[in-house]
Chains A and B, each alone.
Chain A
């Protein structure tokens, strides 16, 4: 596995050519576009981003079977973990979810009647659930994690608190696409509907990677910190 992952000497542009989804990660790291022919290492250094952590995230987003083990995690600079996750939340909450909502409402209004209302309510419940999930992490879990990173002791077992599933959220995004393209009657906006479905699928894929980072990187990392503090 190790041989095909991205490395710090690669050109940033080549990483993006290999996986265009990396572009949307750059904003979360505060890296502006226009980096010319610079390597990943140079771009990260110029923007104060730990290159090992940046590569870790790019690799997770690109290679389906890539997952760092604890040896790799324990030697990675994880100082940007919480800022990165918060920036992802912000992107989902303030950009993707409202954008999807505008188009979904437009389509639901055209369908009208009870079906339109049901669809809107399903989305609004989903949005409430996902925002509550993020809010809970930002108010409780992330501050605890940052305290541990500063070497402070945190009372109850933080890792067990982190353990929560994203499966329900991913299922609801899947259901939303199924309902919209299979069962919604009398839809007069096929182009907008297709765009909406692509937007939901893109968000779903992104959130699945986000969940993977929390479940398979953040939790083992917290467990490792807990063990080494004992």
Chain B
């Protein structure tokens, strides 16, 4: 049996949150977690909750200006962050989201909207390596040396003639393999390992 997709709903209206929970559970395949009613503690709680899908009412974001949705998206690259839409939402708020779930549409479409978002996330992923191989590949070493020289991802992409997205994936793999996160730390790693001429 496939594991259930866990869904965290952040919605101020209990009725809406509860309604969406019932609809998704009827559709099957979803485990709807206890909802949060505002975004103030969202960033702090996510590491403990780790839902597969995050559904947020965009209007709540205007009450917590410090919350950077983009940070959450990059910290959880496989978790789609979906706007919960049932009323007019300002375009500037909507533009922060890549996906939306519109509960005004046909209710049979809700599960499909979530599955589509999950699918899009896994397609977009150039696999972040979690294999047994912790040695840097040749390409990763090329990228590391350029990072250590102080180049931006854009400059590295231009130098190696690859997309900026690919550069960022290499950088993620480098950090995953070495455990080193800062540019200064990567420069030390490159020098200690005699990768810099």
Contacts and interface: CB of A to CB of B under 8 A. Distances in A.
Interface size class of B (residues with CB under 8 A): 10 to 19
A45 B63 CA distance: 38
B189 A183 contact: yes
A191 interface: no
- How would you classify the secondary structure of chain B's contact residues: helix, strand, loop or mixed? helix
B179 A171 contact: no
Nearest to B40: A69
B120 interface: no
B179 A182 contact: yes
Q: Determine the main DSSP class of A at the interface with B.
A: helix
A122 B188 contact: yes
B182 interface: yes
Contacts of B115: none
A98 interface: no
B185 A114 contact: no
Nearest to A176: B185
Interface of A: 65, 67, 69, 114-115, 118-119, 122, 125-126, 163, 168, 171-172, 174-176, 178-179, 182-185, 216, 219
Given A67-B41, A178-B179, A182-B178, 18 more contacts: A69-B40, A114-B191, A118-B192, A119-B188, A122-B188, A125-B184, A171-B182, A174-B181, A175-B181, A175-B184, A175-B185, A175-B188, A179-B185, A179-B189, A179-B192, A183-B189, A183-B192, A184-B192
